[in-house]
A and B are shown apart, each in its own frame.
Chain A
């Protein structure tokens, strides 16, 4: 997994949903309502990639595959990439850059508010995803900032859930996955705190 070509493979995998979309556009077409299809497709892949990105830490710990960390940034950037395509489809093909109509949407329609929040919060994460930024910010602060992805993930699921008319199976599935990923982190964090306390007690006893 340390081999350089694995990153190339991951990159191609990340591009493959876009490739499939383009292939479909030129072959069987994108249904009778292509704009809606592209909007849903890119939104769907944004959420899937957020879920994959959030799965990397638990999976690498549980399966003892530390090298998986090499793919986390790329996965996160692809999530942002599809989120960006999703957003562009919305403001260009749905709103035709009518920014006032868009602003109205963001304020008036809770599902747009949620989606917009999810996307906007990903921008600083994409910008600060480089090694240089980690160095400049310091690991701790960088990590704090990047916890915003938890908010994006939740907002993204809510955005999807509020959008569907009645068939909630997919939003519920995505919501469950995000919940599991966040619960995992909660449990690890609590266990860590308990460990810290124990160590502190032990140190105090030694000092005594």
Chain B
């Protein structure tokens, strides 16, 4: 019998670079020294730890429903840049570098600007807003977010008459987000709103939750929260806010236009082609509950869509 000798070490046998480097680090520094060294030499290399956000103003927009546990909200995430599993972002975004961070406000505005996230956070008083959050996958959570209405930023930028829409972009770094290439969607993640939607007081520019700054998997350091729309519209880790004249591209809409519309307002009467949107599972509850039109925010937002065929503009 002919026994073939392998010509080379199979690829599967090669030690991955991170492990190889980690071994070196371990050997060179030994645990404590290495840890201390890393902190001193490259503090920016690690994620910004959660910082308390004191004096959050109460908001009349808050629901009195039971808030989900911090653990639920931080260990059940869709953030495909960090893996498509629900628990992967908590694991893989741990060292996501969110400092320094700049957000560019640009496009059809009289006063464009680049803001450091600290400056942006202090542009207007932060409020706590307890919102229902409904995912397109038919689950929902209640989260105490911290932020202010996006309109505060947009007003200061002074949109020109040509500005009809707002386009958002998430930071994308293949180096920090190696799983992004398996996400199955085009990255960087982009989203968009009509200008009136973006100016709506419910549209929250969000910096924190549960009284502290956002953890990376929930969209640190700054994200949108649009409680009347499916969760994927609430774009995370924003680096660009651009006012534009035409309807901007949106990641999920590009990926499957028949499944995810530009508006993506929560609507129990318009099913996703593959599953029903009539009910949802609130995390932590056993029975499913009925889904509400505009996720229960109809009184505030329905006017913006008056006269529109919501089956067509889903």
CB within 8 Å of B: which residues of A? Answer: 31-33, 35-36, 94, 96, 105, 109-111, 162-163, 165-169
Cross-chain contact A32 with B71 (CB below 8 angstroms): yes
A residues less than 8 Å from B185 (CB atoms) = 166
CA distance A165 to B85 in the complex (A): 11
Question: Chain B nearest CB: distance from A7 CB in Å?
Answer: 31
Say if the beta carbon of B10 comes within 8 Å of chain A. Answer: no
CA distance A166 to B184 in the complex (A): 5
Cross-chain contact B275 with A109 (CB below 8 angstroms): yes
Cross-chain contact B184 with A33 (CB below 8 angstroms): no
Given A109-B274, A162-B274: A33 touches B139 (CB 8 Å cut-off): yes
A residues less than 8 Å from B256 (CB atoms) = 166
B residues less than 8 Å from A166 (CB atoms) = 80, 84, 183-185, 255-256
Q: How many A-B residue pairs have CB under 8 A?
A: 48
Cross-chain contact A32 with B284 (CB below 8 angstroms): yes
From A35, A96, A167, A168, B80 is in contact (CB under 8 Å) with A167
Question: Chain A nearest CB: distance from B181 CB in Å?
Answer: 11
From A33, A96, A111, A162, B86 is in contact (CB under 8 Å) with A33
Question: Chain A nearest CB: distance from B258 CB in Å?
Answer: 13
A residues less than 8 Å from B61 (CB atoms) = none
A residues less than 8 Å from B76 (CB atoms) = 31-33
Question: Chain A nearest CB: distance from B308 CB in Å?
Answer: 25
A residues less than 8 Å from B137 (CB atoms) = 165
Say if the beta carbon of B287 comes within 8 Å of chain A. Answer: yes
4 smallest CB-CB distances across A and B, nearest first, come from A166-B184, A32-B76, A167-B84, A32-B72
Given A31-B87, A109-B274, A111-B274: A167 touches B182 (CB 8 Å cut-off): yes
Q: Which residues of chain B from 111 to 166 have a CB within 8 Å of any chain A CB?
A: 137, 139
Known: A33-B139, A35-B281. 13 other contacts (CB 8 A): A32-B71, A32-B72, A32-B76, A32-B86, A33-B281, A96-B287, A109-B274, A110-B274, A166-B84, A166-B183, A166-B184, A166-B255, A167-B84
CA distance A33 to B75 in the complex (A): 10
A residues less than 8 Å from B86 (CB atoms) = 31-33
Say if the beta carbon of B283 comes within 8 Å of chain A. Answer: yes
Cross-chain contact A33 with B283 (CB below 8 angstroms): yes
B residues less than 8 Å from A167 (CB atoms) = 80, 84, 182-184
Chain B: interface secondary structure?
loop
Q: How many residues of B contact A (CB 8 A)?
A: 26
Q: Which residue of A lies closest to B284 (CB)?
A: A32
Question: Chain B nearest CB: distance from A20 CB in Å?
Answer: 16
From A31, A94, A110, A168, B75 is in contact (CB under 8 Å) with A31
Q: Could you list 25 A-B pairs, sorted by A, with CB under 8 Å?
A: A31-B76, A31-B87, A32-B71, A32-B72, A32-B73, A32-B75, A32-B76, A32-B86, A33-B281, A33-B283, A35-B281, A36-B139, A36-B281, A94-B288, A96-B287, A96-B288, A109-B274, A109-B275, A163-B274, A165-B137, A165-B184, A166-B256, A167-B182, A167-B183, A168-B184
CA distance A110 to B137 in the complex (A): 17
B residues less than 8 Å from A105 (CB atoms) = 276
**B273-286 CB contact bits vs A (8 Å, 1 = yes)?**
01110000101100
CA distance A109 to B274 in the complex (A): 6
Which of B68, B255, B274 has the most C-beta atoms of chain A within 10 angstroms of its own C-beta? Answer: B274
Cross-chain contact B182 with A169 (CB below 8 angstroms): yes
CA distance A36 to B85 in the complex (A): 12
B residues less than 8 Å from A111 (CB atoms) = 274
Cross-chain contact A32 with B184 (CB below 8 angstroms): no
A residues less than 8 Å from B275 (CB atoms) = 109
CA distance A166 to B259 in the complex (A): 12
Question: Chain A nearest CB: distance from B189 CB in Å?
Answer: 12
B residues less than 8 Å from A31 (CB atoms) = 75-76, 86-87
Q: Which residues of chain B from 234 to 293 have a CB within 8 Å of any chain A CB?
A: 255-256, 274-276, 281, 283-284, 287-288
Question: Chain A nearest CB: distance from B83 CB in Å?
Answer: 9
CA distance A105 to B137 in the complex (A): 16
CA distance A162 to B259 in the complex (A): 12
Q: Which residue of B lies closest to A111 (CB)?
A: B274
B residues less than 8 Å from A162 (CB atoms) = 274
CA distance A110 to B255 in the complex (A): 20
A residues less than 8 Å from B281 (CB atoms) = 33, 35-36
CA distance A168 to B182 in the complex (A): 9
Q: Which residue of A lies closest to B78 (CB)?
A: A165
